[in-house]
Structure 1
Amino acid sequence: MRIQLTGCAVLLVLFTNAQERFGILHSNYGGSDIGLLNPARPAGQWPYADIRILGADLFAWNSLIAWSDRQSPLVGELRNGMAGNTSGNVVLRSQGLAATHRAVVQAGLSGPAFSLALGRGTIGAGIRSRVHVSATGISQELSNFIYHGLNYVPQRGERYRDAGIRAVGAAWTEFGLSYAHILHAQGFGMVSAGTNLRYALGHAAGALQLTDLDYTVVDSALLQVHEATARYGFAMPAVNAGAGLGADVGMTYERTLEEVDGYRPHKGSGGCTPARYRYRIGVSLIDLGGMRFRQGEAGAITAGAITIADHTRLPIQDVEDLDSLLATSTQWSRSKAFSIGLPTAVSVQYDQRLAENTYVAFAAVQQLAGRNAMRLRRSNSIAITPRFETRYFEASLPVVVHEYDVAHPSVGFMLRFNGLVLGSDHIMPFISRGDVYAMDVYMRLRWMIFRSPACKGRRPAKRVSGGREMIPCATPNE
């Protein structure tokens, strides 16, 4: 048990990916990160240029199991685990509001990237590698078998029927180009739109989708599958195992504090001072697209009754062994190619100015993967994030709810020291001994250039609407 706990903890810390990074998401100094959830955000970005040197993200969440009864916070348990003294137990979690259990694990490494403001337009490019694994549709009965094994006595002899079980995973590197533009700037309103376009180079993938599964675990050895409909696909690791395209699209509206007629960011005159806003609203579609793996193994199975005499000893080493086991299948079609969709979602964002340098923001992400789709699944999430930001320092405190489980919100933090960003959307495992069912850490190392060549040597000045003297906001004697 100690080895298992230590291994799980190390995997969580080293190989998981921060999903949305809510702590830095709304920042006006967030660099390339602000465009990942809404590609319109870089339009009119406050720094003239942002260069990402390196980034790493860590995230995992599940509703099935938790590491409980720990004697130390997570860092202490990792240290104790290396010495063979890890405490605690892995326990089953309750389902909460969802009808089935779900899990998302991600891993990622962000390479060089840049974004550059060119007046009303902002261009960007970058590279990052991602690993994403998701599972959904796991019923309470199936979760008992997963946790206790098929020899779980209370469920022996009971016939169960599950639907919509899906486990999908992929690893890929994406090369991205982005463009955001201020479409309309007049009066106290500014509308922007943007898109990210990506080429994805797939490295590995695996997927199993069970549309229907009707089964009975008769005893300690005998398993009867009464009916099953499934699709599967897998591609072994390779530099170029597959390829595909991805995209994000988004729009934002800002209610500004001053008139923005003729506003051109970083282009002299009033453009050398960022257009401050009272509030900002955004909507976006993210991770559209998918990847095609042409040199793998894939197929679809519609099976009738299958009897497995000893489920503890399944001699399956290759496709031929599986063919022998499924000899009673009514249909089995095979192919070498299969597709996996990216973790598509729709998102809305809102950022409200409270006082100078102080804001509170809201964001919601709703995944769009269908129950029977071979598509990676994003975790549904809602976050409220108060923050304080200046050019060289920023702090935020995101409160995040995953999968609408309002009874178990996570609390995080984010600190930015100029271009160095350290954050987590779930800090409690590191400082408390509560149950661990999620993990989140991220960091960024960036270089920001705040003033453009056109603005160097100019003192910040009040913006002049349309390049002319501003018309008074109110008529005399009103």
Structure 2
Amino acid sequence: MKKYLLITIMLIVSLPAKAQSYIGYLTDNYSGVNGVIANPANIADSRFKTDINLIGASAFFANDYLGVGFSDLTSSNFEYDTDAKLSLSNNNNFSGTVDVLGPSFMFNVGKKSSIAIFTRARTVISGNEFNGKSIDDLDDSIDESQDFLVDEGDFYAAGNGWAEVGFTYAQELMNKEQHFLKGGLSLKYLKGFGNAYVTGRNVTINYDASGATLPDSSTIGTLESTGDLSYGRADGYDSDNYDYEVPDAKGFGVDLGFVYEWRPDYADYVVTGTDGVKTVMKDKNKYKLKLGLSLTDVGSVNYKGGLIDSYNINNTITQDDYDNIEDSDDLQNLYTFTQATEDIKAGLPTALHFNADWNIKNHFYLNLNTDLSMRSAGENVMRTANVISLTPRFESKWFSFYLPVSSYQYSGMQIGAGLRAGPLYIGSGSLISTLTRSEIKGADIYAGLKIPVYYSQPKDSDGDGIPNKEDSCPKDFGPIENNGCPWGDTDGDTVLDNEDDCVDEAGPVENGGCPWIDTDGDSLMDNEDECINEAGPVENNGCPWPDSDGDSVLDKDDECPNEMGTVANNGCPEPEMTAEVQKSLNEYARTILFTTGKSTIKDESTPVLVDIISILNEYPNANFTIEGHTDSIGSVQTNQKLSENRAQSVLKFLIDGGIAPARLKAVGYGESKPIATNMYKDGRQKNRRVEINLVK
């Protein structure tokens, strides 16, 4: 059992990894599209017109179990058993990731918004709560002559690899001179290409050197184990053909961030154009203090049809059983084994980031950054190592240099260095520590190439706030109203004295420098009043509303302003019922069905009557008679009464449906007005009818 557990643990620990990306470089205001990794709000109000990342890669690993010196790693005489420095505890951990930022770009949308599209490939691993002392005991191998106890307890290890395509939108949220706020959101489509995890619960291994007595009275060691082990993975490996297929795995992720800037010298960065519009210089950092807060990697990748092997290792085996373990089939014979096929969800390494950046003076800055994992240890959980970094830097448009000093969870204090020179960025958050220390528990490195397109600085020779290209007097300080040339304005109304009709009385430019008046007293100034000498409402630009067709409905309320109508019909003429409509109305009415020999309307006739109500409502001022007719079967008196009652039933239904009673009259004609012969069944059926006719 030992060798398989040890191989699994060492394989996971040895994977290349990174937890924090591009340490030092992401504090740079010229990191461009790369900045969305730490905070999607970074690309709004950036120093770039556009920025294209060609390729970038970052790798990081930290652990609190194993430490080696750089000289040891490069020496051919390095021996793990003697030269490696172990920090053993009952809670050892490791964390790491590889992060490749592929082709990505950002550009501005208008003056306040920016978007970015980025591609990334990432591998994240993490392991938590390993008992380092137990691992060391296993690595020393079982001494058949000595008892030992391994109390591993609970432990977790997981790895996930995926690619992502992201879209970022960032925008200014507040710009009140000294106070500036921007926010950003990244939405990411995820494609998983590998996931595996190992989880142990209450695992113990107790070796008794003489635990069992053989028939020849000799003894043999026994290995008593307890607990549960689970091994889950995406099922994409064909063990027969040694072929790996990308699993059916996808998901979505979200990053959200905000950045606040305090700009005490805001006025120094304002440029006024000849149109009077004030804009803030895009090529300059304007803050004294910048604060950023972001939450990244919220989401997960769902692996369809993963495999989960579960072992209950509550058993006692002999030394011979242990020595005969060659593969997983042997383990399944010794311990209770189950295998399940189900979807596996691999959560992203969600982290909270806080960043504070202080502009000490000119090109010199000091940055404080913290990365805090929001994931707790658990089954198939990817966690980043918590980090706090203090990074002094020199920053300019084409060159920046960083010296990050960081404290990493698991690996301790690290000192690094990095630089950006035009399209190249390269560095490490642990470079100096790696080269100088005798014990290294973590390291990182990054490098990349991009195509930056920066904003340029507008030139203003006379310092009047108007760029030279828009200043008619670039060497003479002058107001924007005179295109940068000096002139006088006695009444201070921004209209030059040579153009002001009221030099000593301030007035708007539109009225030649004189104040506007209201000639007709309708509260609308003459400059906005289309009827200066005739009072009218503001809604009609100071003119009275007309009544073009003279029907007493003003044009603003008249739906037929050029055709005389009635107030009741919103200024339009009442519609007239045509012969076609009358015919259609009676065709509907004749289909009304009654219970045989009674005036009760059958339910199936309700839709017909509803349609009749709709037709009558189209002619609100028309009156109608409801006429009931019967065939000649029965007495004249009976038929007369039946026709009247049926007409009244229809009348009541129409009134209940909303038709005014005054518009309707019910009449029964009995058998007196046949429209077909009563000798035959078809004729009698036609005579049993209801008609609805217009009263002319």
Q: TM-score, normalised by structure 2?
A: 0.56
CA distance in 2: counterparts of 1:113 and 1:221, whole angstroms: 60
CA distance in 1: counterparts of 2:90 and 2:314, whole angstroms: 27
SS in 2 for 1:311: helix
Find the counterpart in structure 1 of residue 107 from structure 2.
116
- CA deviations on 1:20-52 (whole Å, 9 max, x unpaired) are 322112110012222212211222111121100
**After superposition, where does 1:421-440 map in structure 2 within 5 Å?**
421-428=425-432, 431-432=435-436, 434-440=438-444
Find the counterpart in structure 2 of residue 40 from structure 1.
41
Give, in angstroms, the shift of residue 326 of structure 1. Answer: 2.8
> CA separation of 1:238/1:260 partners in 2, compared to 1, >3 Å: closer, same or farther?
farther
Find the counterpart in structure 2 of residue 316 from structure 1.
327
Find the counterpart in structure 1 of residue 303 from structure 2.
293
Which structure dedicates a bigger proportion of its chain to strand? 1
* Residues 325, 331 of structure 2: 8 Å contact kept: no
Find the counterpart in structure 1 of residue 287 from structure 2.
277
2:83 matched to 1:93? Answer: no
Which of 88, 92, 105 is equivalent to 2:96? Answer: 105
CA distance in 1: counterparts of 2:79 and 2:440, whole angstroms: 10
SS in 2 for 1:141: helix
Find the counterpart in structure 2 of residue 400 from structure 1.
406
Find the counterpart in structure 2 of residue 247 from structure 1.
254
Q: Counterpart of 1:201 in structure 2: which amino acid?
A: K
Give, in angstroms, the shift of residue 283 of structure 1. Answer: 1.3
**After superposition, where does 1:196-345 map in structure 2 within 5 Å?**
196-219=186-209, 222-228=222-228, 230=230, 232-236=232-236, 237-259=244-266, 269-298=279-308, 303=312, 305-309=314-318, 310-317=321-328, 322-327=331-336, 332=338, 334-345=340-351
The alignment's C-alpha RMSD in Å is 3.3
Q: TM-score, normalised by structure 1?
A: 0.80
> CA separation of 1:115/1:364 partners in 2, compared to 1, >3 Å: closer, same or farther?
same
Give, in angstroms, the shift of residue 339 of structure 1. Answer: 1.2
* Residues 298, 337 of structure 1: 8 Å contact kept: no
CA distance in 1: counterparts of 2:436 and 2:331, whole angstroms: 46
> CA separation of 1:260/1:124 partners in 2, compared to 1, >3 Å: closer, same or farther?
farther
Find the counterpart in structure 1 of residue 365 from structure 2.
359
CA distance in 1: counterparts of 2:253 and 2:464, whole angstroms: 41
Which of 132, 137, 140 is equivalent to 1:145? Answer: 137
Which of 162, 165, 180 is equivalent to 2:170? Answer: 180
Q: Counterpart of 2:333 in structure 1: which amino acid?
A: S
Give, in angstroms, the shift of residue 151 of structure 1. Answer: 4.6
SS in 1 for 2:34: helix
SS in 2 for 1:198: strand
CA distance in 2: counterparts of 1:462 and 1:385, whole angstroms: 37
Find the counterpart in structure 1 of residue 62 from structure 2.
61
* Residues 189, 260 of structure 1: 8 Å contact kept: no
CA distance in 1: counterparts of 2:395 and 2:459, whole angstroms: 21
Give, in angstroms, the shift of residue 317 of structure 1. Answer: 3.8
* Residues 226, 306 of structure 1: 8 Å contact kept: yes
* Residues 269, 463 of structure 1: 8 Å contact kept: no
2:445 matched to 1:441? Answer: yes
* Residues 130, 152 of structure 2: 8 Å contact kept: no
Give, in angstroms, the shift of residue 254 of structure 1. Answer: 0.7
Percent of paired sites with the same residue: 21
* Residues 197, 380 of structure 2: 8 Å contact kept: yes
Which fold has the larger relative contact order, with Cα–Cα distance below 8 Å and residues 6 or more apart in sequence?
1
CA distance in 2: counterparts of 1:152 and 1:380, whole angstroms: 41
Give, in angstroms, the shift of residue 152 of structure 1. Answer: 9.7
* Residues 39, 195 of structure 1: 8 Å contact kept: yes
Q: Counterpart of 1:188 in structure 2: which amino acid?
A: Q
* Residues 144, 152 of structure 1: 8 Å contact kept: no
Q: Counterpart of 1:307 in structure 2: which amino acid?
A: T
Structure 1 unmatched runs, 5+ = 1-7, 470-478
- CA deviations on 1:158-208 (whole Å, 9 max, x unpaired) are 362512x11101211111111111111103111111122111111111011
- CA deviations on 1:324-344 (whole Å, 9 max, x unpaired) are 3333x7xx4622321111111
* Residues 185, 262 of structure 1: 8 Å contact kept: no
CA distance in 2: counterparts of 1:201 and 1:423, whole angstroms: 29
Aligned length: 428
> CA separation of 1:235/1:279 partners in 2, compared to 1, >3 Å: closer, same or farther?
farther
- CA deviations on 1:213-260 (whole Å, 9 max, x unpaired) are 233233496322223264633433433441111121111111013338
> CA separation of 1:404/1:60 partners in 2, compared to 1, >3 Å: closer, same or farther?
closer
- CA deviations on 1:414-454 (whole Å, 9 max, x unpaired) are 11101200100011365336223222110010111112xxx
Find the counterpart in structure 2 of residue 167 from structure 1.
157
378-387 or 109-118, which deviates more: 109-118
